[in-house]
Amino acid sequence: MRVTGARLLYDLDDDLLNISLDHADAALLRPKGGMVRRMINGADQVWVSTEALRDRLHAARNDLVLVPNGIDERLWLANPPRPRRRFSPFRILYMGTQTHAADLALIAPALARIKSDFGSAVDIEILGVSARGDLPERITRIGPSVNGGLSYSGFINWFSQAGPWDIGLAPLVDTAFNRSKSVIKCLDYAALGLAVLASYMPVYRGSLADGPGGCLVPDGEDAWYNAISWLIRDRDARIRLGQGARSALSEHGTLAAQAVTRRALWETPFAVTPPRLQRRRVSGVASRISAPAP
């Protein structure tokens, strides 16, 4: 890239330099820390998705650019949310990767109470999150039935047809790593028109889950139980929040909504020193080459 005058933009969404030993993917991610640091140091510009992540990585680089996450409206908003079938069970969704098992455990007691009180009138469904066979009692695992997995667009197509759900849950255990996370899960829920219940964590404050499209919930079984049961019982509030979530997403959370800002950043000359002379071997002989002017 230096030889051809190309520029490298590195976009980072998690604090991959500081993976704790108790992280679910520590064995996979910790050995990659050196590569991540090299990319941060060598890129012409580095984007991060949250202020907290920028603060965490400031010691590695002090000119990080804050660019909040956005989702592709051509994929996520191509169709209106599916209408809820009359007399069908109330459906609650929690989705995430298998690094979120501790987050599921945070709300598991409240979910058990919901099932005990509402019975078959409520379906609680989990997409991903934990290993197979490792779910709390009376919670259903869902997922696409395909071999070899799906592409990102293929997953969105399946996901948008697998609903409709009524509530999307976004619990988050208060850890140093989680404090740097973004609101991407809330954006996905909003695209489906779901009312969002999220943990009362700094990452979610001021997001669409904090008012227009949902509610922030303190830690604790009673708090989560009360928030979920409120939305089950209050249809008007649930519909208002679902519509508010999708509207807030359209206004601020899509690539189209962020296009002016992103384009301006792309078109602004990167504030870096010119590429330095580099060395490479040609036919076993070291030669000096210089990158052309950008």
Q: Is the dihedral of CA 196, 71, 261, 53 positive or negative?
A: positive
Place of tokens 């996979």: 28
What is the pTM assigned to this prediction?
0.86
Supply 254's token pair: 């899509």
β-pairing verdict for 285-289 and 278-282: antiparallel
Q: What is the 3-state secondary structure (H, E, C) of 150-164?
A: CCHHHHHHHHHHHCC
For position 139, what pLDDT does the model report? Answer: 83
Hey, where are the domains in the chain? 9-68+258-289, 73-253
For position 284, what pLDDT does the model report? Answer: 36
For position 133, what pLDDT does the model report? Answer: 58
For position 274, what pLDDT does the model report? Answer: 37
- C-beta of residue 57 within 8 angstroms of C-beta of residue 12: yes
Instruction: Give me the amino acid identity at 260.
Output: V
Q: What are phi and psi of 169, to 5 degrees?
A: -105, 140
Per-residue pLDDT of the chain (294 residues; tens, 9 = 90+): 888 988 889 999 999 999 888 887 889 889 999 999 999 999 999 999 999 999 999 999 999 999 999 999 999 998 888 887 777 899 999 998 767 788 988 999 999 999 999 999 999 999 887 665 567 677 888 888 766 678 889 999 999 888 899 999 999 999 988 999 999 999 999 999 999 999 999 999 999 999 999 999 999 999 999 999 999 999 999 999 999 999 999 999 999 999 999 999 888 766 544 343 333 333 333 333 333 343
β-pairing verdict for 90-96 and 167-170: parallel
Just give the CATH number of 73-253: 3.40.50.2000
